[in-house]
Amino acid sequence: MSVRFRIFTLATAFLLLACFAPLARADDLSIVYTSSQTQTATVGPGFTSVDFAGYIVNNTDAPITFQLTGGPEPFAAYVAGFIDGIPYPGITLASGASTSIFDLFTVNLNPFDPSLTYPGTVNIVLDAISVDPTTGQTGGVITENDASILVQAPVPEPSTLALLLPALLLIAFLRHRQFPRLHQRGIGS
């Protein structure tokens, strides 16, 4: 390769890098979890709530109005409800500001259902979408974040009879072994 060709190739690479570098920037909003993004929940006879806490940071030099939306993706029969932390009409976050820590979303899981296979996983997608502060119209996705829940069934506890029967057998066994010794010592005759 000639020196001229190498210089041309290098100059072209720098030009392309300079053109596309602004596209490789951080999201306008960052969703930061203070709870684990992967949680485990055991369902029982009532609804089970799983909370995902965190805060949101505006990474731009301008205020942003947004709301949170999302839910299980794909559909998950384990989920009875999804409550996002910033519903419509959203909030406006000043440039460089962040929210305080709050429940980004809460997932309510169905009570134990024998028709569902346990354990199972619920994948959650959380989107921050833009909201026009003057018209209230929602726009596109500003940022997206994923979380998941491993749903488990409770381990069944033994019945009272199953616990009482071995205890009674143990008492009978110990009493049977104890009386011959007492009789040999001359006690209880």
Please give the residue range of the domain that contains residue 125.
26-156
- For residue 43 the two structure tokens come to 């369902």
- The number of domains in the chain is 2
What would the DSSP string read from start to end of 139-154? EEEEEEEEEEEEEEPP
User: What are the C-alpha distances in Å from 51 to residues 113, 160, 169, 181?
Assistant: 21, 34, 46, 61
Do 132 and 67 contact (CB within 8 A), yes or no? no
In a domain, 36, yes or no: yes
Is 11 within the bounds of a domain?
Answer: no
Interval 127-176: pLDDT, tens: 999 999 888 899 999 999 999 999 988 766 666 766 677 777 777 777 76
Look at residues 140, 182, 180 and name the one whose alpha carbon lies nearest to residue 27: 140
The pTM assigned to this predicted structure is: 0.67
Are 112 and 183 members of one domain?
A: no
What strands, in cross-sheet order, belong to the sheet with 102-109?
A: 29-33, 48-58, 102-109, 79-84
CATH of the domain at 88: 2.60.40.10
Average pLDDT, the chain: 81
Same domain as 163, residue 81: no
User: What tens digit of pLDDT does each residue of 58-87 get?
Assistant: 999 999 999 999 999 998 888 999 999 999
